[in-house]
Amino acid sequence: MRCKGNPVSEGLGIGEVYSYRTMEFTVSSSPISREQVGQNLAEYYRIKEKAAAELKAIIDQLQREQPDKALIFMAHQEILDDEAIDEKIRHEITENLSNPTWAIYTVYEEFGQLLKNMKKQVFRERAQDILDVRNRLLRVANGIIAPNLNSLDKPVVIAAHDLLPSDTATLDRSKVVAIITETGGETSHSAIIARSYGIPALLGIPGLMNKVKDGDRVVVDALDGELIIDPTEEELAEYAAKRERYLKWATDTEAYLGKKAVTKDGVSLEVGLNIGTVEESRVKQAAYADFIGLFRTEFLYLSSPELPTEEEQYETYKQVLETFQRPVVLRTLDIGGDKNVPCLALPKEDNPFLGVRGLRLCFDRPEIFQTQLRAALRASAHGDLSLMLPMVTNLDDIYQAKELINTVRQEMEEAGIPMAPKIKVGIMVEVPSVALIADLVAKEVDFVSIGTNDLCQYTLAVDRQNQRMADYYQSYHPALFRLIGYATKHFLAAGKPVSVCGELGGDPLAVPVLIGLGVRRFSMNPSSIAKVKRVITHLTIDHAQELADQVQTLATAGQVKRFLERELKDYIC
């Protein structure tokens, strides 16, 4: 049997299934009496302390062995110490007379749901951390010892409904051939951990736990996103060969991580990193990136029931600058009607992607925008920070945003608040209208970054989140390359730097075309850096231009993809 899954950690694993079922807890809702409040509050703190001690032990161990993984558990520690959560639990016990486990369960559930309802996957997946901390507390409350995946007696493919960070961080990687789960996506912790361990992982396989059982032989093809249950002998031989080919390619590619992004004919390009949280500026690949080309700041707004304060934002932005020690492009708030943002209570819209999104929301709620600007300008005193505006559709947007930025700046200057003497302001090019007036836009901005995810959505009239439209979301559509080429030409002619920070900017098949169209700066997810550097190193600018010319003459996205796969076969897997 074959099933599709989301290949979040590249590779190919063949082995027997070990089905990992996480513990179910029974949580009683029976209330306590008023006289029992003190004792139950003390019980809550005992549970919390024990959970904190467990986390500390894990962090100490990981800091010695794999410091990057320790960050996940530090984030758990922060959740455990979160004042809003703590306050609510205390309130539940003292005012609503909930017993401690019920208070923990309901409050964590509420915070977890808040994140789960977010449209953006990266935030939905942070709900996992909340769930993980909650499960730790409930397990401790039930007096159960932590389960672990570090005593497996033979190599296995781990199958689970979902894996929480705690399940994966301590697993014995030498015994795990692959990971398959029913839920989870690209940015889940399971995915991040699997990637950093180099374990192939295929997530989001519907009904997985009913399809496999312990001991089943499976092939996990996390290159093409397929799970093959009970393969034939021929299939096994075929996939074993595919695995060998991949392993060789992956080893060769890893060697490019530390290389400079210089083309075969000596042109230096810049390779940057896209991040969505502070933690991501600490990933291994960050050391090999020239800049942070896209710092998505939405997480601050989406992960909290209240609007983040200026101080909180300032601290976060400063932390990113100080941790990364390279130029950072901070994208101002890009949320909108399609996301259920608890701290904003946005009205429902019929066409949210065409509605009050990104900069439009900032104009609608200028006080929110001004707070973010103040925080960002203050942070600019601690490093090289630029501002980037999302969802710009016309020049009025740019005039208005710049006016707001200048006003905030002036007020801060008058108040004697330290900040960088000049801060660059750029825009995301993600709507065809601004791409088509690039020559005019260029006069008003310091730089641009092409957001191909939205540019594809708005050019091809296809909702990027609608799974049923997936076939229409064609990022290799020749129209998209023509549009990018047009905009790039005009921005460069006006002397304005152009980068690409959408998914195409980290796609080794598309990067050569983008280079051919004139792009010299790319910003991407950490896992793309080595692959992109590899393809850049083998390319001449002339070759890239030929590819770009050809692509723009082809008729369909399918033809473009097949053409590029053929042309670049030596550098991609």
Q: Which of residues 502 and 508 has its CB atom nearest to ligand PEP in the complex?
A: 502
Determine phi and psi for 351, rounding to 5 degrees: -125, 75
- The answer to whether 298 contacts Mg ion (rule: CB under 5 A) is no
Of 254-262, 402-410, 452-460, 561-569, the window that binds Mg ion (rule: CB under 5 A) is 452-460
From the list ligand PEP, Mg ion, none, partner contacted by residue 452 (C-beta under 5 to 8 A by kind): ligand PEP
Owner of token pair 């088509």: 436
In the complex, least distance from residue 430 CB atom to Mg ion, rounded to whole angstroms:
5
Owner of token pair 């100080």: 322
CA angle, residues 329, 530, 327, in degrees to nearest 5: 20
Q: What is the DSSP string of 379-439?
A: HGGGS-EEEEE-S--SHHHHHHHHHHHHHHHHHHHHTT----S---EEEEE-SHHHHHTHH
Q: Which of residues 223 and 389 has its CB atom nearest to ligand PEP in the complex?
A: 389
456 is an active site residue = no
Could you say which of 189, 477, 490, 543 is catalytic?
189
Owner of token pair 């032990």: 57
Q: Which of residues 85 and 389 has its CB atom nearest to ligand PEP in the complex?
A: 389
Beta-carbon contacts of 309 under 8 Å, excluding residues fewer than 6 positions away, are 371
Contact pattern from residue 362 through residue 391 relative to Mg ion, giving x for each residue in contact according to CB under 5 A and a dash for the rest: ------------------------------
In the complex, least distance from residue 358 CB atom to ligand PEP, rounded to whole angstroms:
8
- The answer to whether 358 contacts Mg ion (rule: CB under 5 A) is no
From the list ligand PEP, Mg ion, none, partner contacted by residue 296 (C-beta under 5 to 8 A by kind): ligand PEP
In the complex, least distance from residue 318 CB atom to ligand PEP, rounded to whole angstroms:
22
By the criterion CB under 6 A, which residues form the site for ligand PEP?
Answer: 294, 296, 334, 430, 451-454, 501-502
Q: Residues 407 to 436: which contact Mg ion by CB under 5 A? A: 430
CA atoms within 13 A of residue 334's CA, in its CB half-sphere:
21
- The answer to whether 451 contacts Mg ion (rule: CB under 5 A) is yes
Q: Which of residues 223 and 501 has its CB atom nearest to ligand PEP in the complex?
A: 501
In the complex, least distance from residue 475 CB atom to ligand PEP, rounded to whole angstroms:
10
CA angle, residues 159, 161, 166, in degrees to nearest 5: 85
Strands 270-275 and 226-229: unpaired
In the complex, least distance from residue 429 CB atom to ligand PEP, rounded to whole angstroms:
9
The crossing angle, in degrees rounded to 10, of helices 310-324 and 366-379 is: 40
477 is an active site residue = no
Q: Which of residues 106 and 525 has its CB atom nearest to ligand PEP in the complex?
A: 525
Binding residue for Mg ion (CB under 5 A) from 129, 221, 454, 507? 454
Q: Residues 506 to 565: which contact Mg ion by CB under 5 A? A: none
**Terminus-to-terminus CA distance in the chain, angstroms?**
25
In the complex, least distance from residue 111 CB atom to Mg ion, rounded to whole angstroms:
27
Whether 253 and 532 have beta carbons less than 8 Å apart is answered as no
In the complex, least distance from residue 330 CB atom to ligand PEP, rounded to whole angstroms:
13
Q: Which of residues 299 and 563 has its CB atom nearest to ligand PEP in the complex?
A: 299
Here the tokens at position 147 are 């389960």
Here the tokens at position 544 are 């890239």
Rounded Cα distance between 142 and 419, Å, is: 51
Residue 188's closest CA among 9, 5, 454, 4?
A: 9
Could you say which of 3, 362, 456, 501 is catalytic?
501
The crossing angle, in degrees rounded to 10, of helices 189-197 and 67-81 is: 160
Strand partners, 389: 427
Q: Which of residues 283 and 389 has its CB atom nearest to Mg ion in the complex?
A: 389
Owner of token pair 């641009």: 448
Residues that bind Mg ion (CB under 5 A): 430, 451, 454
Residues with a known catalytic role: 189, 501
